[in-house]
Structures are given as C-alpha cells and as structure tokens.
Amino acid sequence: VATNLALSFAEKGFIIHQVYSRNIKNAKALGRKINAPFTDIISEIDKAANLYIISIADNAASDIVSQLDAGNSLVVHTSGSLDINKLNKFPNHGVFYPLQTFSKNKPVALNDIPILIEANTDKNTEILKQFAAFFTSKVHVMSSEQRRDTHLAAVFANNFTNHMYNIAERILKRSDISFDLLIPLINETARKVNDEIPCHVQTGPAVRIDKEIINKHLIMLADLPDYKKIYKQMTNSINKESKLIKI
Amino acid sequence: VATNLALSFAEKGFIIHQVYSRNIKNAKALGRKINAPFTDIISEIDKAANLYIISIADNAASDIVSQLDAGNSLVVHTSGSLDINKLNKFPNHGVFYPLQTFSKNKPVALNDIPILIEANTDKNTEILKQFAAFFTSKVHVMSSEQRRDTHLAAVFANNFTNHMYNIAERILKRSDISFDLLIPLINETARKVNDEIPCHVQTGPAVRIDKEIINKHLIMLADLPDYKKIYKQMTNSINKESKLIKI
C-alpha cells in the first residue's frame, strides 16, 4: 500500500518529504523510487510535514503511533480494519483507506478505486476528501465500523476468490492442463457482477442441486481432502442460500 | 448453453433445422429467437441434419440418447462432466464443450472462449475442430478425463468465486454499503491472474498469518455461522498452502 500510494502521490505532483520504515532496505527502495530522503530512525522523522501517512501492518501501528511526534499535523493510517481511535493521541487524525489489492512490484493506478475517508473533525474530513479527489472520483466518508465490514467483505471478494483460482490451478495441473484455459471464464465471472448482484447469476451443480455431478466431483477430490471439504461447504452454502431466495 | 450456442451458430450463418426441448415453452422460445421450427416430441426430430447437439442437464442425457434416432449423423453433447462413451450408441459421436458461464438472458459471444473437443474417430475430431474454429481461436482436443478435471476446476473458479462475491455482498448489506464499492477490487483480482498464477498474488490476513485481524473477523461473523465456517476453512487452506510454498 505504501509503495502504491507514494507513487500515486508523486505522480500527481505532491512532494513526499521523507520515507520512514523500520527496515532500512524498504525505506531506501521506496525513497529511491520517488526521489525522497529516507530513514529507519523514528526520531529523525521530519517535523515539517502537513500530512503523515502511516501505512503498516495493523499490529505494528501502536508502536509507531506511540513514538511518532507529529505536532499538530494531520496523521492518517491506511488500514481497512484499524479503528480511527488508534490515532487519538494526535490532535488531527483520520483514515485514508484505498479499497484495492496492491502488489509492491506492480503498481496499480488509483483511478476509479474507492477511497474510504474518516477523520476526527469536519475540517479534517474535508481536507482528506479533497486530497483523495486528486486520485479518484470515488471518495466515500465511512465510519470505522463500516470500513471494517467493507474490509471483511473484501477478504471474501479478493483473498478467498484468489484462493479459489489457486485451487482451480492445482486441479488443472494434475491433468497437465494450462491455467490459461480458465482466464476467459474468470474474466466473465467478474464481469457479470459488474451488472447484476451475485445471487442472481449463480450457476453450477450446487445451485441446480445436481447430486450426480456433485458426487462425481467429491470422488474426484478424494486425494485432495482440504479442497474436498471446501467443495462440500461451498456447495451446501450455495444450496442453502438459493433455497432461501426461492422462499 | 443451448441458447448461447444456437445464437452463435445462427450468427455465423449455420442453418439450425430444428429445436427440440422436453418443455415446449423452451423449444418455442429458442425456436423463435433463431427462426427455426421447434418441437417437444422426440420422434418428430428431423432426420436430415448433419449434426445433432444435445445440450441438456447430465442426468437427462441418457433419456434423450436412448430415444434419439440420428442415423449415421454426428451427435455431440456439450457437457463438461459427461463421458464421451454415453454417446456410444451413435456410430459418429463426440463432445463440443464451450468453457464459459452462460445465462439465458444475456448471450455471451463465443469469441476467445475455449472449446474443448473430443470425438470417436480422427475424422470426427477434425470435423468438430473445424466447426469450433468458426467461433474461437481456442480449440482444444481433450480426453473425457481432462475435460472432467477442467469442469471441476471451473466450478471453483466460477461457481464458488461467485458465491464469494455473494457473501461479500451480504456482509456489505448489513452495513448499508453498496456492492458496487467492491467492483474495482473484483475486477483487479481477476485481472491479476491473467498475468500471474494465483499463488504468486495471494494477499490478505490469511497468507500474512495476521492473527489479530483474523480473530477480529471471526468475531464479526458470529451471527453468520456458515460464513464464519467458510472464513475459517479458507484461511486455514491459504495458510497451509503458503507454508508449503515457502518450504
């Protein structure tokens, strides 16, 4: 997230005063990418910035918060699951959460990505909304609770979906079939829910209650017990829900 | 599948002699769409066709096969999971399986969709390959076993993925958040695996073994026990696999 945000900020002409990381290698790598000074010593963090962005694993945030001296400047974190009140120490604080999946090596443009904003005062909310609007048209003000639900939903829609792709890849591998074969199907599956809610476009043996195919599939998964369990549970869940919809 | 194929065939200028369905309403609806005669009486099926396409639920196929008189014409089914030998009765037979998710009301073009071919003779394989090549550049000859594995993989990559989207939608709903918010993330999740295999782009609390967030999420799912179980199982499976990769 840090790398992606820094690159997007620099691209829009914002000046990044300094990069801090507990790991000097990471600080250096990002500092060089955006031509900014870098440090791994928290007391050396520049005190003249307008905005401090804490982009770090949730469980490491408390440490940074307790040590950071940001004066009256605005301090934000970029986490989906961390409550805004973790930043209560700072008189001006907020949250700037881009709802997207990032990889360090493949920067993703922020265009059209929702950015979820929260702040401790109306003025700070306004500042963050205006800042976010430089990058995307999709700026949403949300409470910590809503953001937490959004993050949980994103774990299903992104992390677990990717694991489904992974299981598919492994099943194909044992028959020496290339994963590329599934790409048009994967793309269409995603495209469909751009227009319709998922329960309206559910297909497959589970929603049809096609026991013959389901049993065949379970036998085929006998040597992959974890995937077999996942298959059963997903099938039951789809099945249950499609019945609820019909009622 | 029947509707989608019929529309694609008609579009390319192939003449569809007749539409048969056990349900006259379905026969009529499709017949009218493509300007073809239709019937629900199996003995009335035209005997002069070059190609008979059986596109039906697997468990209904045997019935049709036993009743259909196709002479020496080529007969194919369009199922991912049905063995080719179910058509042994016909001297010329094969499989024409388009690997895509179809909905009756939203026809999908076959362009770029893989079509998996199998036939009982080299000559029939060649006929089906040439026929499939009218619709897509991705024609693959595959055994029934390979096609069955591909179909199982597709259940994970399509049906179960869509259910993940569905769960995400339901979690958002309880906080009155629009599902649209997740669309850029869903699109990017699919796009990523166009370039890299899924296990290389897995992100999230499960692969990071971020117990703090995982426990928070499980608490948030207390009132959705089915989703909680799915969350646990997916997290364990991702976790296990990421360890296997590291070793």
Q: What is the mean pLDDT of each run of 10 residues along chain A (247 residues)?
A: 88 91 93 93 91 91 94 96 96 96 75 94 98 95 96 97 98 95 96 94 91 95 96 96 67
Residues of chain A positioned with their CB less than 8 A from the CB of B63: none
Please give the pLDDT value at position B245: 61
> A162 and B230: CB-CB below 8 Å?
no
SS3 A207: helix
Please give the pLDDT value at position A79: 94
Q: Which helix (H) or strand (E) holds B97?
A: strand B92-98
Alpha-carbon distance of B167 to B5, in angstroms, equals 31
Q: For residue B27, what are the CA distances in angstroms to B42, B73, B77, B110, B213?
A: 12, 22, 17, 22, 53
Where chain B has pLDDT below 70, the residues are 104, 244-247
Chain B, residues 61-100, CB within 8 A of chain A, namely: 81, 99-100
CB within 8 Å of A198: residues ≥ 6 apart:
B162, B163, B165, B166, B168, B169, B179
Residues of chain B positioned with their CB less than 8 A from the CB of A213: 58, 81
> B162 and A189: CB-CB below 8 Å?
yes
Place of tokens 């649209």: B180
Please give the pLDDT value at position A104: 67
> B164 and A157: CB-CB below 8 Å?
yes
ipTM value, please give it.
0.92
Chain A interface includes B144 (CB < 8 A): no
Distance from CA of A34 to the nearest CA of B (A): 24
Gyration radius from chain B CA atoms = 22
DSSP A140-159: EE--HHHHHHHHHHHIIIII
Facing residue for B213 by CB, picked from A81, A172, A220: A81
